[in-house]
Structures are given as C-alpha cells and as structure tokens.
Chain A
Amino acid sequence: MAKAIVTQNREDYPNTFYGGGGCCGESVNRFQSGCYNNVNRSFEQTKQCVQMSSVQVLTKIDDSLCVFHSPVGCTGCTSFINAFSKLLRVQMGRGAPRNIHYIATNMDEHDVVFGSTDKLIAAIAEGYRRYKPKVVFILASCASGIIGDNINAAAKQAEEQIGTKVIPIHCEGFRSQLNSTGIDTAFDAITGYLLDGTHPPKEDDLVNLFFPQSTTAYDRLEMAKIMGLFGKRANTVPDYATVDDILRIPAAAASIVACYIFGDHLAEWLKKEYGIPYEIIGLPIGLKNTDNYVRSLGKLFGQEDVAEAFIEKEHARIEKPLAELRKKLAGKRVLTGSGTSRSLSTALLAGDLGMEIVALQTPVLNNDVVREVGVLSEQHGDEFVLDISCVQPFELANIIKKYKVDFLIGFSTVSTMLGVPGIQTQGQYDFQQAGYDGILNLGEKIARLSANPTLQAHLRDRGYSPYSEEWLRKDPFSYLKKEEAV
C-alpha cells in the first residue's frame, strides 16, 4: 500500500445532482441553463449506501478476501450477493458454487470505545492464513469512520505482516449521497493499487466489458455473444475474475461501458494511461441501446459494415413479434425506475413497445441522463415526471395514483400494492433483458403481466398499500425542501 487514494464523491462532479423532482422539460431547462440545485427531502425512505456498491465490485474477485471493519449487519447485502453469485457462477459456466470469502470484525461497544485496528489486523492475518488470497480489501463502515480507526495505517501494517496487498476501501456509508460513489471507490482502488504501473502484453481481441452488477447471466452471455461477431472476446471484470485477470485489463484493445455510472472512471483512466479507446453506452436493453452497443463495437474496430448488417438482420427478425406486442401494449402509461442506466434503458424499451412514459425515476441527473431524457422526449413529449431520487417509493406511489400509471418497470412492490402491475427488473436472474431477444422477452412478460393483474387487484382491494389517502392527494414533491442542499 503505497499511497492513500481519495475518490471524489459523485455528487461533487460538475453537473451532477441527486435530489429533485418535477416536470422533465422544466427540469432539463433548469439543468441546461445552470440553475438546477440539489434539494434534500425532509421525509425520506432508506437508500443504498456507498459500501453496498463497493462490495458489488470487490467481493466477486475470485482470489480476494474482503474484511468488513464493521458490526456484522454491514454484511447483510453481501450475504445476498453471495447467494446470487453462486447461481451466476454456475449459469456463467465458471465452476461449482462456492461462497464468497468475507470476514466481519464484528465491531462491538468495546471496539467503538477503545478502537479496534488490532482486531482488524488480526482478522486480515487470520483470513490470509485460511485462504492465501492474492489481495485483501478492507471495507470501512460508518462505525469505523466515526470512531476514526485508521484503516490506511492498519492496511500498511497488515500488508507488511502477510506480504500480500492489503487495500483500504473508504466506503463509509455516510460519506456520499450517491451510492455510485462506492463503485468509483472500488475501481479507484483497483487502478491505484493493482493496475498502476503494470504493462501486460497487448491482446488485440480482448475487450473490457463493464456493466452494472444487477445484470443477469443471460444478459452477460448475450453481450459477449454479440461481441463475438466482431471477433472479440469480452473481459467481464471484475466478475469471477482472478487477480491475474484484473491485471490483464490494460491488455485490452478497447473498453465498452454499458452503464452511465459503472466503470466509466476506469475506462477513462485506461484511455489516459494506456491509450485504450472506450465507448460509454447505456445498458443494451431496448432497440436504441442494443443498436448503440452493436454500433459502438463496429466503430471501435472499424467494422461498421458488420454492425449495420447485423442490426438490419435483427430488426427484420423481430419486426413481426414486436408489432404484435405493440398492439397489446399501445398507449399503456408507464413509470420506469431503478438505477440510472436501467431506468433509462427500460424507458426506451417501453417506447419500443408502444407504451407511453409518464414518469421516470433516476438516482442521478447529469449530462448523460439529460441527453437520454431528450431522446425520450422526442417520442413522449417533455411533460413527463422526472423524479431524481435513490428510489423513494412514497413519491412513486403518489405519482402512480396521480398520473394513472398502468404499468411499472423497476421495483414493482410499490405499484403492486396499489393494484398496478409491474415487473421487477433488478435482482432478476432467470430471464434475458438485453439484446434483440431481450426486447421480445421483456415485452412478452410485460404483456402477460398487464393482461392479468389479479393478485395486484386483490392486494389493492384489501388495503395492502401503507400510503395514506391524504398523501396520495398531495403534490408528489411536497417533501422536497425549499432551500438548496448544503
């Protein structure tokens, strides 16, 4: 551990906002004229934290060990990631299921009062004895951050003791308003501590493919398959990668970033340090983003003709079934919400299916989002609602009622309880959403769910939604504070 790396919080980037809501046309105008301000909510629901995003990147590095310097509760999501990753490992053909290796220092009252870096160092040494990992990550917590345990010094000391890289990850939950900061924190650690100064031999057919960790195995395989058309292999790091695979990242001929917030940092760093070109596209869900994915590959490798031929062939192939789906779904009023890229991609997909966007929720408002919202506005007008939040279901419930939403694409619990069908697009592992077949697949599911929303109606009639009538009558953004956030 040579140096301390400080990652900038996402909300401190230029033109990046995390809190707001209103009509999309008006929001975009304010954004473009430089008058957009972050506002906090006086009421809010639980969000995601920086650490959850860091662990999504780091825990799946095969020969790594993650040490959580925290009470056991901070491993809650990791236990879910563990279950998900065992399944994905089998689906991706990466061998038999095995648990992620992670240890919690199990911080308690005593540790909080007296400090516990000794225990942290002992946990690292014990973990090293057990698994001989190639790299150890220390994941900070709110508790370790507030009491001021020096995890940088602990990393240095542990590294000297075990003779293997120990990397501190400053993912204290309170440090940023945007959990995507945790992705950057993890990738900065990979670049700063693992990749910096490495020069592996070039592999001209290797392409780094970065996508959000919620991407299903089927979507990963579909993206890799399409890449194969151009004679390229996907380096899908850091998933199930070994440290040696990570060290091959700079060997790649190009990088594709299939997300607006995942891996963009790393791709930019690779361009600066190694001259590796990259393209940032949305998740390849829906026609436009799938075309984009194919075209960006064509552009990177001078094979535009291959790209155009494939796009034409695929459009022709799905034209008929897509027209059938449009007939079924025409005019349905949709709300999409989820992570930034998934929200935008699925909104575009809804348009492909002939549905009408009435609201879009995204955790971030930035240049990418404004550009994509512009594309959506061409089809759906600029009156739809833009909710800038890390999923605040109380606002979505209000919007669903007020704007008579027929279908929700995203986290569907909130709409279900109000009698409105929806499809859960995140945390799903059993179906393909990406690529041209993904369009039909998602479309079929949406059509079937729309056709028979019986459970939703029963739950609505029996009062399973916790939201008060009074609230559902108010303006959805009543709890946005008037003053700018500091």
Chain B
Amino acid sequence: MAEIIQSPRGACALGGALAAVASINKAVPILHAGPGCGVQAFAGQLGNAGPNRTSYTPDSFPCTNMSQHEVVFGGIDHLREVVRGATEILNGDVYFVLTGCTSDIIGDDVDSLVDEFVKEGKPVTFANTGGLYGDGARGYEIFVEALAARIAPVTETKDEKLVNLFGIGPGLSKCWSGNIEEIARIIERLGLRVNTFFTRGEDYEKLLSSSAAFANIIISPHLLKEAESLWETRHGIKSFRYTGLPVGPTATTDFIRKVGEALGVDTAIVDRVTEEEESYFFDYASVTIGRLPTKKIAVVADAGTAIGLTRFLSDDYSQEVVRVIVTDNVLPEDQPLVRERLGGFQWAQNPEVFFLQDDYEIKQALEGDSFDMILGSSLEDEIVVPRGLQFMVVSIPTGPDMILNKAYAGYRGALTFVEDFIDACRPVHIPGISL
C-alpha cells in the first residue's frame, strides 16, 4: 500500500505516459478518462518540468471525459466515437489511447476496441495508465513496456549502428529534453545513431524502428527493469544501464567509456571524443575560476538528477554536497545502489542521503545549518528566504522558469549548469541588477 504524500512532485501514471506520448512528433494521445484528467495529468507532469516542450496537440487532447453515464454503462461506445473523430480531425501518424482510473476501475475493454481500428488499418494503440498504477515515472515505464510489447514489430534484422536511448522520461526531471539531446549528441560522436523518441522532432517511425536497434542504453539507476527484460525476451535486444545522469567530464567520460566497451566501439574513437569533449569543458570551466563558489550544498531531486549533480559538484567542480534527498519513488531494494552512487568521490566526503517523497518530511530533513545552498525544486523556495539560503531550481516542479532545450547533462550541459549555478550564487539577487 502506497504511503500518503504531501505536495506530490509530479503526476500519476497517466501523467508520465501522457508526457511521453505528447512529446512524440505527430503522435496523438487519446484519453479514455475523466473530464479533468487531461489537464491535471499534463499540468502535473510535463507542465511542472518547464514546460520544455509543447506537445503536438497542446492542451487539447481528445478525451472521452467520462461522466456518470459511462461509469454506470461503460465507456467503450463513446471511446469508439472519440477515436473515430480523432482520426478524422487530427493529423497523426499514431493515435495512442491512454486510460485513466475511471476506465481501469470499471474495466472497459480498451484492447478489443483498439483492435477494431487496427483491423481497419488505422495506427491506433493503447496502454493502461490509470493513476492507481503509480506515479509519473511508472507511467513512463508503462509507455516503454507498451513500446516493447505491442508497438515495436519483432524483427531478426538488427542495425549495428542503431541504439535506443531510455531512462530520461519526459517531464520527470528538469531539462529532460536537453539532457536527452546532449547525451544523444555524444553517443552519436562515437559513430552510432540514437533513437531518442521524444526530442529532435522524432516521430512514429522511430518507435517502429526501435526493434531494429542492436542495443538499448538506459540511463537510470532504478527505472525500466520490467521493460529491460521485455526488450531482451521479445526482441533479443540487450540493455546497457548507466546508474545516474552523467553530468560533467568525469561522469560523462566514464559513461562513454562504458558504452564503448559494452557496444564494441573502437577505443581510438572513444579516446579522441572524450579528449576533445573534456578539453571543450575545461577551456570554459577554467574561465570561471575567479568566481568559483565555495558552497555547502543540499540537493533535493529525483535519483538520476541527484546522482548526476552530486557527482559533478564533488568530482569536477570543487563543491561540497553535504545532504541529498532523493524525492522520487526508489524502492527499498534499489536504495543501496543509489546510495552507493551518491558517494565514493575522489576527494569529497560522502553526503548524508535520505529517500523521501513527502514534502513535510523533506522539509524536516532540510533542517539544520550544515549547508548554505539548496539545489531543489520550486517547492523549496519557501524555506530559503527566511533562512537566508542560496537557491537554485534543479528538479521538478520547476515553477515558472521557461526551460526549452537547456541541458545539465554531459559535457556541454555541465557548462550550462555552471552558468546557472554561479548566477544563483550571487551575494544579493535583485532582478535587473548584476552584482
């Protein structure tokens, strides 16, 4: 039984799945859900992460708006009308039915309804994504599982240069799309091609070609375990997993070397790419030395972001991270790995680590005076003013900041992070005045 959560950081399974589908070019989500679900799920997930990507059908998803009538008599007939209408009204390469709690609880047979359209040759598919199945991250997992189980055709032919990139779910973290693009950029420098699915205008074609990839790269310590085994059993595609977002030269080079090893990339290419990228980073990073902050920091973020930023600040940028609060749902069996990845630095001390989703408990864990800066979500702003702490938004909900293609991951993203970090370290932050 899931614990109660004060001020949840993100939406439900529908929110995570909707964020994924809405981020695919010319994919049309169709919600078989209650009247508020489209707005709630969109606002709670993708909207709370930027919004760094407008969807193809912004704020106007087809929806059955299930009312008492459907609750009592079932909603399949109306869903049939709405799917029919969507295929007539909205240009789409694929129509993706996503269910909400109402449909999942009353047990509407969406699978059979979708089959009717598939038999007509219409590109319609579905996933059961009711909020009762979990949070936004779970919704992203359900999407990737549906991709492996239902959408990607089984094929023996594999493209030895094509990889699928998973683990950074739309709307699950700040800068998710920029981070995907930066990591794809670096992997492509190794001579590979990357399906990112959710960025660079990628469309349904990439979903279909995913089963022709020869490997998956999963960037997450804990997500997509079920999907990982589905890819292997159904498509014979093995996954290389990197446990945390690679941010900065030390982590990104470690990531690239391990990718190279796992996927059999020529070491000469790996050496050349990492050398060039590291030089690019340090050429700029060296310029910041006159304003190098000396901060004691508390990080409040999802596991992937927390690992990425903590490792970068500790291993590359001479800062001291003293406390880390991991705010997404990391199961007890995954916590030791995440904890391990939040420590073991070359010089820096290991921070205290907490796993908390409830805002009240998070705020309690942020008491004390062992740090002078918080890297967290917009929910932390209320404590920084009275306590005179410095503050930077690095996790969801991000609040009013406009985030487009900004990245914190990789080599170039780490430079953007440094820019924002030093800006946030100004002694007095008055809008319009540079101090």
Instruction: Point out residues on A near B: beta carbons under 8 Å.
Output: 42-52, 70-77, 79-80, 82-83, 86-87, 96-112, 116, 119, 122-123, 126-127, 130, 141-143, 146-147, 173-177, 179, 390, 393-394, 411, 413-414, 417, 466-468, 470-471, 479, 486
Bound Cα distance A346, B43 (Å): 26
A175 touches B68 (CB 8 A): yes
A106 touches B397 (CB 8 A): no
Bound Cα distance A2, B81 (Å): 44
Contacts of A471 in B (CB 8 A): 88-90
B132 touches A71 (CB 8 A): yes
Contacts of B386 in A (CB 8 A): 96
- Taking a contact as CB atoms closer than 8 A, the residue among A52, A123, A479 that contacts B39 in the complex is A52
A52 touches B131 (CB 8 A): no
B34 touches A122 (CB 8 A): no
Interface residues of B in 56-115 (CB under 8 A from A): 56-71, 78, 81-82, 84-86, 88-92, 100-102, 105-106
Contacts of A467 in B (CB 8 A): 89-91
- Taking a contact as CB atoms closer than 8 A, the residue among A86, A102, A104, A413 that contacts B381 in the complex is A86
- Taking a contact as CB atoms closer than 8 A, the residue among B6, B67, B82, B133 that contacts A42 in the complex is B82
Bound Cα distance A479, B6 (Å): 41
Known: A44-B82, A82-B379, A467-B90; 12 extra A-B contacts, CB below 8 A, are A43-B84, A45-B62, A46-B38, A71-B101, A72-B135, A74-B36, A79-B48, A102-B7, A142-B102, A146-B71, A146-B101, A466-B91
Distance in Å from the Cβ of B43 to the closest Cβ of chain A?
Answer: 5
Bound Cα distance A79, B45 (Å): 10
B85 touches A146 (CB 8 A): no
Task: Specify the chain A residue showing the minimal Cβ separation from B85.
Answer: A43
Interface residues of B in 1-50 (CB under 8 A from A): 1-8, 10-15, 26, 28, 31, 33-45, 47-48
Bound Cα distance A42, B63 (Å): 11
- Taking a contact as CB atoms closer than 8 A, the residue among A86, A174, A414, A486 that contacts B102 in the complex is A174
Bound Cα distance A100, B131 (Å): 22
Task: Specify the chain B residue showing the minimal Cβ separation from A72.
Answer: B8
Q: Does B400 contact A (CB under 8 A)?
A: yes
Known contacts A73-B12, A79-B7, A106-B2, A46 near B65 by CB under 8 Å: yes
Q: Which 6 A-B pairs have the closest CB atoms?
A: A43-B85, A76-B44, A49-B36, A46-B38, A73-B12, A71-B131
B59 touches A44 (CB 8 A): no
Between-chain CB contacts (< 8 Å), 20 pairs: A43-B82, A44-B63, A45-B38, A46-B31, A46-B39, A51-B36, A71-B132, A72-B11, A72-B44, A75-B11, A77-B36, A77-B44, A79-B48, A79-B397, A102-B6, A103-B7, A105-B4, A174-B71, A413-B60, A471-B90
Contacts of A173 in B (CB 8 A): 34-37, 102
Contacts of A123 in B (CB 8 A): 4
A142 touches B34 (CB 8 A): yes
Q: Across the A-B interface, how many residue pairs have beta carbons closer than 8 Å?
A: 252
A45 touches B61 (CB 8 A): yes
Contacts of A82 in B (CB 8 A): 7, 379
Contacts of B10 in A (CB 8 A): 72
A73 touches B378 (CB 8 A): no
Bound Cα distance A103, B4 (Å): 7
- Taking a contact as CB atoms closer than 8 A, the residue among B4, B7, B58, B101 that contacts A122 in the complex is B4
A49 touches B35 (CB 8 A): yes
Known contacts A49-B35, A83-B378, A146-B106, A174 near B70 by CB under 8 Å: yes
Q: Does B382 contact A (CB under 8 A)?
A: yes
A73 touches B39 (CB 8 A): no
Q: Does B360 contact A (CB under 8 A)?
A: yes
Q: Does B359 contact A (CB under 8 A)?
A: yes
Contacts of B41 in A (CB 8 A): 73, 76
Contacts of A80 in B (CB 8 A): 43, 47-48
A44 touches B65 (CB 8 A): yes
Contacts of A146 in B (CB 8 A): 71, 101-102, 105-106
Q: Does B268 contact A (CB under 8 A)?
A: no
Distance in Å from the Cβ of B95 to the closest Cβ of chain A?
Answer: 12
Q: Does B399 contact A (CB under 8 A)?
A: yes
Task: Specify the chain B residue showing the minimal Cβ separation from A112.
Answer: B132
Task: Specify the chain B residue showing the minimal Cβ separation from A46.
Answer: B38
B135 touches A413 (CB 8 A): no
A52 touches B36 (CB 8 A): yes
Instruction: Point out residues on B near A: beta carbons under 8 Å.
Output: 1-8, 10-15, 26, 28, 31, 33-45, 47-48, 54, 56-71, 78, 81-82, 84-86, 88-92, 100-102, 105-106, 130-135, 359-360, 378-379, 381-382, 385-386, 397, 399-400
Task: Specify the chain A residue showing the minimal Cβ separation from B64.
Answer: A44
Bound Cα distance A119, B70 (Å): 28
Task: Specify the chain B residue showing the minimal Cβ separation from A485.
Answer: B69
Contacts of B28 in A (CB 8 A): 466
B106 touches A86 (CB 8 A): no
Task: Specify the chain A residue showing the minimal Cβ separation from B8.
Answer: A72
- Taking a contact as CB atoms closer than 8 A, the residue among A50, A111, A143, A394 that contacts B89 in the complex is A394
A179 touches B35 (CB 8 A): yes
Contacts of B60 in A (CB 8 A): 45-46, 393-394, 413-414
- Taking a contact as CB atoms closer than 8 A, the residue among A76, A87, A109, A122 that contacts B43 in the complex is A76
Distance in Å from the Cβ of B173 to the closest Cβ of chain A?
Answer: 15
Bound Cα distance A147, B135 (Å): 20
Contacts of A486 in B (CB 8 A): 69
Distance in Å from the Cβ of A135 to the closest Cβ of chain B?
Answer: 17
Distance in Å from the Cβ of B364 to the closest Cβ of chain A?
Answer: 10
Bound Cα distance A45, B85 (Å): 10
Bound Cα distance A103, B357 (Å): 11
Bound Cα distance A114, B379 (Å): 33
Task: Specify the chain B residue showing the minimal Cβ separation from A75.
Answer: B8
Contacts of A99 in B (CB 8 A): 7, 359, 379, 382
Task: Specify the chain A residue showing the minimal Cβ separation from B382.
Answer: A98
Distance in Å from the Cβ of B182 to the closest Cβ of chain A?
Answer: 25
Bound Cα distance A174, B399 (Å): 29
Contacts of B14 in A (CB 8 A): 73
Task: Specify the chain A residue showing the minimal Cβ separation from B91.
Answer: A468
B34 touches A49 (CB 8 A): yes
B131 touches A74 (CB 8 A): yes
Known contacts A45-B63, A47-B65, A468-B89, A143 near B135 by CB under 8 Å: no
Task: Specify the chain B residue showing the minimal Cβ separation from A398.
Answer: B89
A108 touches B132 (CB 8 A): yes
Bound Cα distance A313, B60 (Å): 44
A71 touches B12 (CB 8 A): yes
Bound Cα distance A43, B13 (Å): 24
Bound Cα distance A79, B51 (Å): 14
Contacts of A52 in B (CB 8 A): 36, 39-40
Bound Cα distance A396, B257 (Å): 53
B90 touches A468 (CB 8 A): yes
Bound Cα distance A45, B90 (Å): 11
Contacts of A466 in B (CB 8 A): 26, 28, 56-57, 90-92
B71 touches A46 (CB 8 A): no
Distance in Å from the Cβ of A11 to the closest Cβ of chain B?
Answer: 10
